[in-house]
Chains A and B, each alone.
Chain A
Amino acid sequence: MDLFRRLFGKSDEDVPVNESVAPMRDSVPSKKPEAQADDSSDTMEVQSTNDTTDSADSTHAQSAEDLTTDDAEDRDTGELPSEESADFSPLDPVTRPVGPPPPRGRASVADGVTQPLNADSLTARKTEHLAFGQASDVGMVRNNNQDSAISFFFTSHSVEEYPDFGVFIVADGMGGHHDGEKASAVTTRILASSLTNDIYVPMLTSASDADRIPLTEALIKGVKNANDEVLRLVPDGGTTVTAVALIGDLAHIVHVGDSRAYLVTAEGIDQITRDHSLVQRLIELGQLTPEEAEVHPQKNVLYRALGQNESLEVDTSIRRLPPNSRVLICSDGLWGQVEEEELYEISMNSMDPQQACDKLVALANTRGGVDNITAIVLKIS
């Protein structure tokens, strides 16, 4: 819609009948260079949208349609890839890089709501909204998986225009006698339910924004609730937590411990969170080099975690996710084994986010899998 139509878009009775109206209407877009620039850029936006989707107007919640059309397109592209699909997804089945196979019978795989199909058949997917994958694995050394993860994504289509909403949580527990896995499980569950109650349910049940607390506050409250529950239910356990809550294209990040969130864009990979570890602190203070930190005997010492104390300081930040970006949330079992360049390469260039997660886990396992490995990848189209 151009500026002219936006300004004059109300029905005619709202505009007072006046002799000067008609000429002024015409003069607005033609006289002002700014207005023209605005106009043309808008048009371009619509065109680019058209390039990537069949129906430019349906922005949200095509999941049901997607399922059927994707099926059909998959069959089409399998025989003869169209230009359009090659444009959108350069990784057709032939040229797709082959990574290490996902570990059999180990990875617990949670598909996004937009992706209920087997990853291998999704070669020509067209999503306007987010897609995600999640994988967690015990690794090659440990007996149990103390990591927990929850992914939750909501998208809709209606005149009320709800933005996409998602919650993605990774927690890495620690403590003997199953305390670690309990602590991380309680934490992901409590944080997810807290955000559901404070943000998601009010969003669906109330027309007014007044009933919702700011998302950052909801995240802090959720993590503090989780901390209280860990202290109560698993007094000898502890856990990290790194979570991303998404409203539209705005990612709100909450973080305690040494799990990490990365933003991956065409420009590269950027670690959003800061490890609450002794060695990281020593690096920041110039007392240790990153190389010394990697082999430091106390490199696993955290100074902040859930389950440690009643008062808990929580880090938060906010990022607007650019088009064609990825968010990677992972436990140290991944980032401790896999280099940043590899994290970038796999999360950016895998066919879909689920495949990215499976590959990342498999790669950490080929490096020894000394710890539990968990990854969530969000793909923003």
Chain B
Amino acid sequence: MPETTQFGGDEYTDERALKPNTILINRYRVLGTLGGGGQGHVYQCRDLNFPDAKRLVAIKEMHYPGDPSMRTSTMATFQREANILATLAHPAIPKIFDFFDQNNRAYLVMEYINGNDLEELLTKTRELPMDKILEWAIDLCDVLYYLHNHQPEPIIFRDIKPANIMVDSLGKVRLIDFGIAKIFVSGVKNTMIGTEGYSAPEQYKGDVNPLSDIYSLGATLHHVISRKDPRLEPPFSFNERTLKEFNEGTPPGLQEVLNKALEMEPASRFQTALEMKEALAGIRYGAKPTGLTGVVSNDGKTGMVQTDLFGGVGAIEPRWKFKTEDEIRGGPSAFRDLAFVGSYDTNVWAINRETGEFKWKYATNGGIAVTPVVDESNRLVMFGSEDHTFTALDFASGRISWSYTTNDRIRSTARVAHDHVFFGSDDGRVYALVAGNGRYLWEYDMGAPVRSQPYVTRDLIIVGAENGEVIGLELSGQRKWSLRTRRGVTAAPYVDEVEGICYVGSFDGYMYAVDASTGYSMWRFRTSGPIISAAAPVRDLVVFGSADGNVYGVNAESAKEKWRFNAEQPIVSSPVIRDENIYIGGTDGNLYCLEAKTGKEIWRFQTENSITAAPYIIDNMILVGSMDRTLYALPLVD
């Protein structure tokens, strides 16, 4: 690719520009060059027909194509269009005085405007007054309306952009470069970086109509207000950059006006420049905006509407509640007809999950902060306690089957896999016991309290410790790999076993994605608070909560944020996915149900204190424990 053209390019060097003092058709003396483009230059000239007055004009030069047959047709088109322009009379359109050919070039003689174009103003200023921008926009709508209603046929400007809009010495806008220049442009052959940025999508199919000018005006205003140059962004991506993000002074309603002007489908835009003018005037001068029927004002707060309609206490009626004697910090679990939950009242409780009736309880000598786990094949319920002991109970009777005592408190929820049980202790060790009888197999010293729930794959145990280390252990207890994060890892790792990718959050605020078999770090995603929540996969996303108050949906491949849901209070519990819905508790006491695709709230259920552990879904029931001491059984509704 021998040539690059950036932003229209400047392949015509100044060598081809006319020298000062050159006299064109015995009348115009060139004083200097005002600008140059792909087709020629614009000169400042003095009109010699007025020897006593210094009458200045701007002369736009365009090179005719070298090909003789094309030259003839281009000449004809130029003359026809120049004749039309010469008849226009509008304060925002510079007067056309004359046009002529000389030396295989076409010249258009225009009123000279002393001022800056909007592109120059954008680079020269930090901020333009919003009132001024709106007034210019209103005037531009007015001139477009004039052009579009030209008889016998409408004139389409084709190329509205900041560089074609001048602000004159009186602060008034003027349109300076009519689409006439387009006649002289031949097709692009070389790879080019940068798109026009302001053109409507239909213009790329050769379809230009008045509504294309509306789009380009919307694009221009978007650039001027947001100061994000659309030529440096993906084409047609204005709706991905809201004005408020970049300009806090954006008045209410303006975003909606631009959204409408920038609709992909011409039929969805303002149908006349007058409609758009009225909408802008409404914002500038306080009249009621018109032409915006059907546009719902939305200040960006996701899910608030749904909340008011469907959420809140009372919308979802628990099937039963079960009150324990102290805070429920861990999560519930269930097996057959029983639900299990540990409480800081030192008991593990078993409750009939249909009726909510008490079945049995088992008292330890310390509070319980973990989720009881069920070993279905041995019919056991297992959990650790602040009394340092890990206990396995017969699920039906609550009678002890075996127990194992570590050297410190147990705050790590266990994992049962391969007929063994794996858990951590504040004594810094990861333990592996035979699930059926509690026989000690091995321990691994991580050097800091282990409060994270281990994840067990086909051949590895992955677990984090409070010193920030995440470790991959072989089933024999040998270290295979380690990953060091900057702060403690309390969160449970999660492994996507199909892709072999392990996701684990850290108190350092990052969610890490590592190769589960080697521990090699693939990406990390930053949040503004510690991550205690485990990740859960749904669609192409990993979903997790952060203590910064958000639930995140992050693309698993690209590590790019797809959405976030703001719960305002920290999220420390892990999400559970069912049927493309996300269920996650917040320290604000709410259990949220979110749509996986968008992160939008579907409903919420309010408890009276923080929810700090994952809910448990079984059949058509959601079990969730709260620090308000209560275990709730909710019907699973969409």
| A and B part of one assembly | yes
Interface positions, chain B 268-298, Cβ under 8 Å from A, are none
In the complex with contacts A35-B419, A176-B2, A308-B194 CB distance below 8 A: yes
- In the complex the two chains form, is B193's CB within 8 Å of A174's CB? yes
Distance between B155 CB and nearest chain A CB, rounded to angstroms? 24
Q: Which of B4, B437, B524 contacts A217 (CB 8 A)?
A: B524
Contact, CB under 8 Å: B521 / A302: no
A34-B419 in contact given A6-B474, A180-B4, A278-B195 (Cβ < 8 Å): yes
Complex CA distance for A243 and B194, rounded to whole angstroms: 22
CA distance A180 to B478 in the complex (A): 52
B419: A residues at CB distance < 8 A? 28, 31-32, 34-35
The residue in chain A whose Cβ has the minimal distance to the Cβ of B11 is: A176
Contact B3 A282 (CB under 8 A): no
CB distance from A34 to the nearest CB of B (A): 7
Do A175 and B557 form a contact, CB below 8 Å, given A208-B484, A210-B484?
no
Q: A367: CB under 8 A from chain B?
A: no
Query: Which residues on the A side are within 8 Å of B483 (C-beta)?
Result: 209-210
Contact A287/B476 with A163-B520, A303-B195 known, Cβ cut-off 8 Å: no
Chain B residues positioned under 8 Å from A176 (CB to CB): 2-4
Which chain B residues border A86 with CB–CB below 8 Å? Answer: none
Is there an interface contact between A6 and B475, defined as CB atoms closer than 8 Å?
A: yes
Asked if B95 is at the interface of the complex by the 8 Å CB criterion, the answer is no
- Stretch of B116-124, B200-208, B317-325 contacting A (4+ beta carbons < 8 Å): B200-208
User: Which residues from B are CB-within-8-Å of A339?
Assistant: none
Asked whether any CB of chain B lies closer than 8 Å to the CB of A232, the reply is: no
Does A229 have its Cβ within 8 Å of any Cβ on chain B? Answer: no
Which of A293-301, A344-352, A358-366 lies at the binding interface? A293-301
B234 in contact with A304 (CB, 8 Å)? yes
Q: How far is the CB of A136 from chain B (nearest CB, A)?
A: 14
CA distance A213 to B524 in the complex (A): 9
- What are the residues of chain B within 8 A of A315 when measuring CB–CB? 558
Question: How many Å lie between the Cα of A276 and that of B235 in the bound state?
Answer: 10
In the bound complex, residues from chain A placing their C-beta under 8 Å from that of B523 are: 214-217, 316, 318
| Interface pick from A109-117, A246-254, A373-381 | A246-254
Q: Are A3 and B418 in contact (CB under 8 A)?
A: yes
State whether B474 touches A282 (Cβ < 8 A). Answer: no
- Compute how far the CA of A144 lies from the CA of B3 in the bound complex, rounded to whole angstroms: 12
A320 within 8 A of B: yes
Q: A38-B458, A247-B515 are in contact. Are A317 and B188 (CB under 8 A)?
A: no
Is the beta-carbon distance between B202 and A316 smaller than 8 angstroms? no
Complex interface: chain B residues within 8 A of A20 (CB): 437, 439
Q: Does B609 contact A (CB under 8 A)?
A: no
- Pairwise interchain contact B519-A308, C-beta atoms closer than 8 A: no
Q: Are B1 and A180 in touch, CB under 8 angstroms?
A: yes
- Among residues 478 to 527 in chain B, which have CB atoms less than 8 Å away from a CB atom of chain A? 478, 481-484, 499-501, 512-513, 515, 517-524
* B187: interface (CB < 8 Å): yes
A285 at the interface (CB under 8 A from B): yes
Which positions 188-234 of chain A face chain B at CB distance < 8 Å? 208-210, 212-217
Residue of A nearest to B188 (CB): A298
Could you tell me if B202 and A287 are in contact, using CB atoms closer than 8 angstroms? yes
Q: Flag whether A307 is at the interface (Cβ < 8 A).
A: yes
Structural contact, B234 and A300, CB atoms closer than 8 A: no
CB-defined contacts of B474 to chain A, threshold 8 Å = 6, 9
Q: B157-194: which have CB < 8 Å to A?
A: 187-194
**Which chain B residues (420-477) contact chain A, with CB distance < 8 Å?**
420, 432, 434, 437, 439-442, 458-459, 474-477
Decide if A287 touches B195 in the complex (CB within 8 Å).
no
Measured CB to CB, the closest approach of chain B to A204, in angstroms, equals 14
In the bound complex, residues from chain B placing their C-beta under 8 Å from that of A213 are 521
Residue among A217, A258, A285, A307 making CB contact with B264, cutoff 8 Å: A285
Contacts of A31 in B (CB 8 A): 419
Tell me which of A10-18, A48-56, A90-98, A122-130 binds B: A10-18
- B3 interface neighbour in A21, A175, A216, A281, Cβ under 8 Å: A175
Whether B189 lies near A212 (C-beta < 8 A) is no
If the complex has contacts A282-B204, A307-B193, A309-B232, are A212 and B521 also in contact, measured as CB distance less than 8 A? yes
Evaluate contact between B558 and A316: CB separation under 8 angstroms: yes
Contacts of A208 in B (CB 8 A): 482, 484
Q: Does B565 contact A (CB under 8 A)?
A: no
CA distance A125 to B1 in the complex (A): 39
Which of B3, B188, B439 has a CB less than 8 Å from the CB of A297?
B188
Interface positions of B from 1 to 54, Cβ below 8 Å from A: 1-4, 6
Residues of A within 8 A of B190 (CB): 174, 300
Set of chain A residues within 8 Å of B520, measured between Cβ atoms = 163, 209, 212, 215, 247-248, 250
Q: How large is the interface on A (under 10, 10 to 19, 20 to 34, 35 or more residues)?
A: 35 or more
In the bound assembly, the distance between CA atoms of A175 and B189 in angstroms comes to: 13
| CB of A159 within 8 Å of the partner chain | no
Look across to chain A and name the residue whose beta carbon is closest to the beta carbon of B483.
A209
A209 touches B188 (CB 8 A): no
- Taken together as a complex, chains A and B put the C-alpha atoms of A210 and B481 apart, in Å, by 11
In the complex, residue of chain A having the shortest beta-carbon distance to the beta carbon of B229: A309
Please tell me if the beta carbons of A14 and B439 are within 8 angstroms of each other in the complex.
no
Q: Is the CB of A174 within 8 A of B1?
A: yes
Is B233 an interface position by the 8 A CB rule?
A: yes
Residues A317 and B484 in contact, CB atoms below 8 Å apart: no
B236 within 8 A of A: yes
Q: Are B192 and A301 in contact (CB under 8 A)?
A: yes
Does A174 contact B189, Cβ atoms closer than 8 Å? no
Contacts of A234-256 to chain B: CB distance below 8 A: 236-238, 247-248, 250, 252
A24 to B233, CA, bound (A): 65
> How close is B434's CB to chain A, nearest CB, in angstroms?
6
Instruction: For residue B586, give the distance in angstroms from its CB to the closest CB of chain A.
Output: 29
Residue of chain B at shortest CB distance from A371: B1
> B482, A209: Cβ atoms under 8 Å?
yes
Q: Of A16, A248, A278, which is within 8 A of B204 by CB?
A: A278
Contact: A303 with B234, CB < 8 Å? Answer: yes
A300 partner residues in chain B, CB cutoff 8 A: 1, 188-192
Task: Report chain B residues within 8 Å CB of A14.
Answer: 442, 477
Chain A positions within 8 Å of B192 at CB level? 174, 298, 300-302
Cα-based distance from A3 to B440 in the complex (angstroms): 17
Give bound CA distance, A309 to B230, whole Å.
Answer: 12
Q: With an 8 A cutoff between CB atoms, is B559 at the interface?
A: yes
Of B204, B234, B477, B481, which contacts A10 at CB under 8 A?
A: B477
| Shortest distance from the beta carbon of B621 to any chain A beta carbon, whole Å | 27
Q: Are A214 and B201 in contact (CB under 8 A)?
A: no
Nearest Cβ in chain B — how far from A206, in angstroms? Answer: 11
Check B204–A209 contact: CB distance below 8 A. Answer: no
Give the Cβ gap from A201 to chain B, nearest Cβ, in Å: 15
Within 8 A of A (CB), among B228-263: 231-236
Question: When each residue 290-334 of chain A gets 1 if its CB lies under 8 Å from chain B and 0 otherwise, what string results?
Answer: 001000111011111101110100011111100000000000100
Question: Which B residues are CB-close (under 8 A) to A237?
Answer: 4
The yes or no answer to A152 lying at the interface (CB within 8 A) is no
Listed by A's residue number, 23 A-B pairs whose Cβ atoms lie within 8 Å are A9-B474, A9-B476, A16-B440, A24-B439, A172-B1, A210-B484, A213-B521, A215-B521, A215-B522, A216-B559, A250-B515, A250-B522, A252-B522, A279-B204, A282-B235, A285-B264, A287-B205, A300-B188, A300-B191, A301-B192, A303-B194, A309-B232, A319-B557
Given A18-B439, A142-B1, output 14 extra A-B contacts at Cβ < 8 Å.
A9-B478, A10-B476, A28-B419, A34-B418, A35-B418, A175-B3, A176-B3, A238-B193, A250-B522, A258-B191, A282-B235, A296-B204, A301-B195, A311-B232
- State the A residues within 8 Å of B (CB): 3, 5-10, 14-16, 18, 20-21, 24, 28, 31-32, 34-35, 38, 142-144, 146, 163, 172-176, 179-180, 208-210, 212-217, 236-238, 247-248, 250, 252, 258, 276, 278-279, 281-282, 285, 287-288, 292, 296-298, 300-305, 307-309, 311, 315-320, 332, 371-372
Residues of B within 8 A of A (CB): 1-4, 6, 187-195, 201-202, 204-205, 231-236, 264, 377, 418-420, 432, 434, 437, 439-442, 458-459, 474-478, 481-484, 499-501, 512-513, 515, 517-524, 556-559
